[in-house]
Amino acid sequence: MKSYDNTKIKNIAIAGHAGSGKTTLVEALLYSAGVSDRFGKVADGNTVSDYTAEEVARKCSVYTSLSCYERDGFKVNLLDTPGLLDFEQSMVEGISACGCCMITVSGKSGVKVGTHKAYNYAKKMGKPTMFVVTKLDDENANFNNIFTELKTEFGPTVCPVVVPVIADRKIVSYVNLIEMKAYKYENGKAVETDMPTAEVSEKMEYRIDGLIEAVSEAIAETDEELMEKFFEGEPFTHDELVDGIHNGLNKGLISPVVCVSAATLEGIDMLMKEITLLLPAPAEKDDKPATDKDGNIVDITSSKDDPLTANIFKTVADPFVGKMSYIRVQSGVLKSNSEVVNAATGSTEKVGKLYYLIGKKQIETSEVGTGDICAAVKLSANTGDTLCDASRVVAFEKPNFPKPTYRVAVRAASQNDESKISNAIARMLEEDMSLTYAQDPDTFEMILSTLGGLHLETVVSKLKRDFGVDVVTSVPKIAYKETIRKKVKVQGRHKKQSGGHGQFGDVWIEFEPCISDELIFEERVFGGAVPKNYFPAVEKGLQECVKHGVLAGYPVVGVKAILVDGSYHPVDSSEMAFKTAASIAFRDGIPQAEPMLLEPVGNLEVAVPDENTGDVIGELNKRRGRVMGMVPSETEKGMTVVTAEVPIAEMSDFTLTLRQMTQGQGSFTLETARYDQLPANLVTAVIAASKTE
């Protein structure tokens, strides 16, 4: 594959809701371009972009895959991203590396949550957007309804470019509104045909006129001269239409709409033409700000003559090949067998072989030019790191990946795998930025956090298949604690005679509530009733006791212990005897001090669609939550942010419930804030559960 100039490259992320036809669209583009000689099907598990074992088994995209084709002197890189919300991180990876986000919308089901997710991420990252209405071969597809929905949801920037002519619920032809020509498909090939009239379909003339008006209005918004021409009623020329849409797309003022039937390849040739004509090349829209080592902003232009800067936007952890890094070259030229600087660590990286990818197929190349995308193996750099020439070390901002909220405790299914599990998950953490794995400091369980149930299933499946580690997951234990409510004074006396020296320790200790996460120990002994050299032993005995409370064995907090009196034997007293005496005082005294259980309570912020606010508040009430307030979201239109205080014990499945309740539009953050008294009606169950652990 030859090297392309940055004016002849198109980087496109294919994103959208699950099932909207992304992978089939990529397959159709590659097949039409002659890259593949077989038109694969998702259902058959033989597509170019869904090639991993997990994707073949699930019959859907799980990871972002890279492929490319060459046509009309251009190289087009396609990033096929997952649509399922559990794999949102992979969608962010793909969009972050693209020059334009092509959003698929099913002609049957229309705009969904995944459509909005893709659009919002693209806008946050400053990426142009284009809509592709797919599955028009379905008898229930309705382009006009979908187009109206797009205009309603995304505003006047939505601009029709290729539209179908429908008669008797069947597509008669496709109209290219830029060329003002109609095409019908015969034996898989486009043949120019007559423009539609009212005889073809009722009111079709009106509809075409209305669509032409929509195109002209959208283009007029991009330029003052074009606006004047529009108001004067003059039609735009072909070049003005192309340049207007192209410029409007780059500025984020226009989102073109085309339509295809990927399964039958209808409209694919026109889509490829619009990709070449309308979508930006890196040379036009790829300048990117970065920061140098002093924190100063540096504008990186997309120029092959500048020092190298390249961004790692995706990492694949393969147990056989090793780590594979997907790289987008922002400036300069990346060459194989060269040395670069990793701006994140300051260390030098040795770049080995470089590859262009078409799914799992690798095409080796000696160098990759500005604006192009490639893969390299066995780099130590991670996702989001910037590779630079030593003469100019800068770092690009890392994408904001979704935060995992679905937590489970993980342990190896067999003791033989205990040593493998951490290494295997560490490898997976390199490729999945929406995965966390850490030990809970209170319960000492290893906690794996994911974006949802399907994400978790995929991780567990990959651990077993690729790394040979079988794991068992469970609901995480809750870090309850115990405390006391009143002050008591008790004696702890330990006396034992067993021939020779005996054991004797006698203490009087006052236990009282206080505000502290640790035991506070004081001594107020007068007259040497307990020698000073035994004070540390008394404290040590108490410190060991507070690790396991008297109610359910949970750590004891909020207790102040004051040594006030006691007695000793000059021969039989020892540190061990006084340590034991202190333990006896704790064991006898805490039950008298009205012990109680405490549960962790978290601060919750949940963003939900306005229409679901009442449902979510009701759900939080069921979970013993206390709603503190709600305000309109500052970042997303039509969303409300609800703040509440909720017991952590009630939130283990909230991720799944919220997703179901809001069709995936809701999100939340939860942080442990404090401990509150556990309601009396739950104490018995918690104590009983603790005895079975």
Q: 513 - beta bridge partners?
A: 559
Of all residues in the chain, what percent carry a pLDDT higher than 70? 98
pLDDT per residue as tens digits for the range 519-558: 999 999 888 889 999 999 999 999 999 999 999 999 999 9
Strand order from edge to edge, sheet including 189-193: 162-167, 170-176, 181-186, 189-193
Is it the case that residue 647 has pLDDT exceeding 80? yes
Is it the case that residue 209 has pLDDT exceeding 80? no
Contact 165, 155 (CB under 8 A): no
Structure tokens, 248: 């409007």
pLDDT per residue as tens digits for the range 570-603: 888 889 999 999 999 999 999 999 999 999 999 9
**Helices and strands of the chain, counted as H and E runs:** 16, 37
What is 9-278's CATH number? 3.40.50.300
Is it the case that residue 167 has pLDDT exceeding 70? yes
481-593 CATH fold: Ribosomal Protein S5; domain 2 (3.30.230)
| 332 Cβ contact partners less than 8 Å away, ≥ 6 residues apart | 303, 304, 305, 306, 307, 308, 309, 310, 370, 389
Binned at pLDDT 50, 70 and 90, residue 447 comes out as very high
Helix (H) / strand (E) containing 91: helix 88-97
Range 436-459 average pLDDT:
94
Pinpoint the residues of the chain covered by CATH 3.30.70.870: 406-474
Binned at pLDDT 50, 70 and 90, residue 326 comes out as very high
pLDDT of residue 419: 79
Contact 21, 136 (CB under 8 A): no
**Per-chain mean pLDDT for the chain:** 91
406-474 CATH fold: Alpha-Beta Plaits (3.30.70)
Pinpoint the residues of the chain covered by CATH 2.40.30.10: 288-396
What is 598-692's CATH number? 3.30.70.240
Binned at pLDDT 50, 70 and 90, residue 198 comes out as low
Question: Comparing C-alpha atoms, which of 5, 21, 22, 4 is closest to residue 13?
Answer: 22
pLDDT of residue 401: 93
Rounded distance between C-alpha atoms, residue 142 and residue 147, angstroms: 9
pLDDT of residue 172: 85
pLDDT of residue 91: 96
Cα diameter, the chain: 118
Pairing of strands 100-106, 9-16: parallel
pLDDT of residue 627: 95
pLDDT of residue 200: 56
Question: Comparing C-alpha atoms, which of 474, 404, 521 is closest to residue 86?
Answer: 404
pLDDT per residue as tens digits for the range 241-294: 899 999 999 988 999 999 999 888 999 999 999 999 999 999 987 678 899 888
Helix (H) / strand (E) containing 205: helix 204-220
Is it the case that residue 165 has pLDDT exceeding 90? no
Is it the case that residue 202 has pLDDT exceeding 70? no
Range 77-104 average pLDDT:
95
Is it the case that residue 169 has pLDDT exceeding 80? no
pLDDT of residue 233: 81
End-to-end CA distance of the chain: 61
- Produce one character per residue of 35-46: b if its CB has 16 or more CB atoms within 10 Å, e if not: bbeebbebeeee
288-396 CATH fold: Elongation Factor Tu (Ef-tu); domain 3 (2.40.30)
| 453 Cβ contact partners less than 8 Å away, ≥ 6 residues apart | 86, 406, 656
Of all residues in the chain, what percent carry a pLDDT higher than 90? 72
| 206 Cβ contact partners less than 8 Å away, ≥ 6 residues apart | none
Rounded distance between C-alpha atoms, residue 676 and residue 316, angstroms: 44
Half-sphere exposure of residue 326, counting CA atoms within 13 Å on the CB side? 26
Angle between helix axes 238-251 and 204-220 (nearest 10 degrees) is: 60
Binned at pLDDT 50, 70 and 90, residue 434 comes out as very high
Pinpoint the residues of the chain covered by CATH 3.40.50.300: 9-278
Question: Coil, strand, or helix at residue 526?
Answer: coil
- Produce one character per residue of 77-97: b if its CB has 16 or more CB atoms within 10 Å, e if not: bbbbbbbbbbbbbbbbbbbbb
Contact 192, 183 (CB under 8 A): yes
Is it the case that residue 78 has pLDDT exceeding 80? yes
